[in-house]
Amino acid sequence: MPERSHGAPHGGRTVRFAPRIDALLAQHTGSDLFRLEPDTIGVAGPDLMDALLHSRPANAEERPTFKPVRARRVSRTDASTFMQAVSTDVRAALKRPLEPTVDLTGSWPQVPHAYLRDLVFGRERFRFRVLVDRRLELTPKLTWSAVTSGAALLGRPGSQVPLSKLASLVLDSTTYEDRRYAMYLYRRVAAPVCFTVAALVTNAVWLGAPFDEDTPNRHIIHEALRLLPVSWNILRVASPEFTAVDGRIGEHDDVLVLPLLSHRDPKLWDDPDAFLPERWNDLDPESQPGYLPFGHADERCWGRHMVLPLAERLLDLVRRDGLTVDPGRRAGAVELDGLMEVSDVRVTHARAGAALAG
């Protein structure tokens, strides 16, 4: 795989993208619009991204979290009920003070994933905890079978067991069908809390640790999301609104909006491939042209208010405990299997790392 040597000044670390992503970056960074496939147009120009995403709302199938559950439509009310439940659980978890001792060394993103699972869902019964397991991500069939067996076996635990808001929603369902549907939605909203935040913080650590003392966590997060946007593409299926916005888009063309590319466009960013959290001293992430890590302003990610404080908490621990990447690790692989994350990052104490390197 080719390597991008720029983008990670700390410890001389590089990011090795999967070949298809690397080809996208090499061929199309700075382009406004280009043909990707016979039926797909790639878009990376900031004004065009904005106009296209503004031209119509995402349809049910384009919403990953609340797309139909086995042909059952997820109503707006159900969607917001589940989001409110998980937000309540996250807020409760964040009220707890930082753990005086916690070992976050080891292989990331697995380690922060497990930390977040324990922090937010730790007291949950096994049936629920299994739904946020990383292994389930491997196959959707496996998810469905975990949900099905879980739904069949569930009974309400004794009142001494504290239940999360999310789990209560599932257990309050009356029929087996409803319980199964609710468990599936539990999985849809609970799993990203662990997966996406772990990916984001792993990327930040890879790109920049150890961080300068006076750099705010927020700036580290914005910059990590710029260079390695966890959600790196936004797909919209063909529709007449897009042709109306730009005649180069045919009526049967799907549109793939690519923040990955606009986030490195040299027309938009100084030194675009460098990890420079300080650039956010003067930029506003809400209105910076072409910066869309959480999607378009019209329908921005519903989870971002949870993501940011959870990521900050992890960064607080990383900084407090002096964690960094094992200095033996120089190239981090970004595979092409969904979320954009550096895989198998060895995280260690800076002192231990320095001794090893010496």
Contact set with ligand HEM (CB under 6 A): 58, 62-66, 86, 189, 192-193, 196, 200, 230-231, 234, 293-295, 299, 301-303, 306-307
ω into residue 210 within 30 of 0, thus cis? yes
Tokens at 329, concatenated = 């690790």
Which residues are CB-contacts of 136 (< 8 A; sequence separation ≥ 6)? Answer: 130, 142, 143, 146, 187, 191
Give SS3 for 323: strand
Q: The tokens 């650590």 sit on which residue?
A: 205
- Tell the smallest beta-carbon distance from residue 185 to ligand HEM (Å): 11
User: What is the Cα gyration radius of the chain?
Assistant: 21
- Tell the smallest beta-carbon distance from residue 13 to ligand HEM (Å): 21
**What residues are paired with 325 via a beta bridge?**
347
Q: Which is nearer to ligand HEM, 29 or 196 (CB)?
A: 196
Tokens at 142, concatenated = 């496996």
Q: Which is nearer to ligand HEM, 48 or 327 (CB)?
A: 48
- Tell the smallest beta-carbon distance from residue 197 to ligand HEM (Å): 6
Q: At what angle do helices 176-208 and 140-153 cross, to 10 degrees?
A: 130
Q: Which residue is nearest to ligand HEM (CB)?
A: 303
Query: How far is the C-alpha of 62 from the C-alpha of 234, rounded, in Å?
Result: 9
- Tell the smallest beta-carbon distance from residue 35 to ligand HEM (Å): 21
- Tell the smallest beta-carbon distance from residue 143 to ligand HEM (Å): 16
Q: Which is nearer to ligand HEM, 196 or 348 (CB)?
A: 196
- Tell the smallest beta-carbon distance from residue 332 to ligand HEM (Å): 17
- Tell the smallest beta-carbon distance from residue 64 to ligand HEM (Å): 4
Tokens at 295, concatenated = 């999607």
Query: How far is the C-alpha of 59 from the C-alpha of 56, rounded, in Å?
Result: 9
Q: Which is nearer to ligand HEM, 146 or 221 (CB)?
A: 221
Q: What is the DSSP string of 60-89?
A: GGG-TTTS-BTTB---HHHHHHHHHHHHHH
Q: Which is nearer to ligand HEM, 151 or 204 (CB)?
A: 204
Write the CA distances from 218 to 165, 206, 278, 300, integer angstroms.
Answer: 28, 16, 10, 18
| Reduced DSSP (H G I as helix, E B as strand, rest coil) percent helix, strand, coil of the chain, to 5 | 50, 10, 40
Evaluate whether 341 touches 17 at the Cβ level (below 8 Å). no
Q: Which is nearer to ligand HEM, 194 or 353 (CB)?
A: 194
- Tell the smallest beta-carbon distance from residue 230 to ligand HEM (Å): 4
Q: Which is nearer to ligand HEM, 64 or 162 (CB)?
A: 64
Q: Which is nearer to ligand HEM, 54 or 63 (CB)?
A: 63
Query: How far is the C-alpha of 143 from the C-alpha of 141, rounded, in Å?
Result: 5
Per-residue three-class SS string for 216-284: CHHHHHHHHHHHCCCCCCEEECCCHHHHHHCCCCCCCCEEEECHHHHCCCCCCCCCCCCCCHHHHHCCC
Evaluate whether 114 touches 122 at the Cβ level (below 8 Å). no
- Tell the smallest beta-carbon distance from residue 103 to ligand HEM (Å): 24
Q: Which is nearer to ligand HEM, 339 or 348 (CB)?
A: 339
